[in-house]
């Protein structure tokens, strides 16, 4: 970082002229050397920490935890010996069963319920609409309408004729009754009743 700041503050950067390529290459080589030195220091610090952890585990009776990572590196974790807190090792589940069984059952139940709602809700709406829809009568064709109106006209005419026939039969029956009882006609009986 000091090199980058030095480049920004250099007189070439302030004047706007590009630095010569040889100078840039030299600064880049110096930066790479510093990065390599920092990586070497980190690697040495890790090795020293692991060696110190091994000696603490061996001196303390083997109370440390050894973990092997997927890359094959071995890391030793040493529990703290000072302070009011006690070291409690964490139980790790196997990689193929990351979810605890009770939570897994709950999640399966929730997912099944959600899937049931997603599938059943549209079906329930369709059934409800089918049950609630009003039965609309089909429209009557024009030909049938004209035939029905003609039939209605004919039936009204027949009704009038039947009524006339019934009236004439009543009249004829009245005349026939009067002819059988000639005394009832001229007697002047106010009730008009027959004997």
123-159 burial: b if 16+ Cβ within 10 Å, else e: eeeeeeeeeeeeeeeeeeeeeeeeeeeeeeeeeeeee
Domain parsing of the chain, residue ranges: 2-92, 142-186
pLDDT by residue (tens digit) across 64-88?
555 555 566 666 555 555 555 555 6
What is residue 70's predicted lDDT score, i.e. its pLDDT?
57
The pTM for the full model equals 0.26
Q: pLDDT per residue over 84-135, tens digit each?
A: 555 565 555 555 556 777 888 898 999 999 999 999 999 999 998 888 887 7
- By the 8 A CB rule, do 107 and 99 touch? yes
């Amino acid at each position: 970082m000091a090199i980058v700041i030095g480049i920004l503050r250099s007189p070439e950067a302030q004047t706007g002229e590009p630095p010569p390529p040889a100078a840039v290459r030299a600064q880049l080589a110096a930066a790479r050397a510093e990065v390599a030195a920092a990586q070497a220091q980190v690697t040495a610090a890790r090795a020293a920490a692991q060696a110190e952890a091994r000696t603490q585990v061996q001196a303390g009776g083997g109370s440390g935890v050894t973990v092997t990572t997927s890359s094959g590196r071995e890391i030793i974790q040493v529990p703290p010996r000072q302070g009011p807190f006690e070291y409690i090792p964490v139980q790790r589940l196997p990689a193929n069963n990351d979810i605890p069984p009770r939570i897994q059952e709950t999640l399966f139940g929730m997912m099944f319920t959600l899937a049931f709602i997603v599938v059943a809700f549209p079906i329930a709406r369709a059934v409800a609409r089918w049950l609630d829809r009003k039965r609309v009568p089909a429209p009557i064709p024009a030909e049938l309408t004209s035939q029905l109106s003609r039939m209605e006209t004919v039936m009204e005419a027949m009704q009038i004729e039947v009524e006339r026939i019934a009236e004439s039969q009543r009249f004829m029956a009245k005349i026939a009754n009067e002819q059988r009882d000639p005394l009832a006609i001229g007697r002047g009986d106010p009730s008009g009743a027959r004997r």
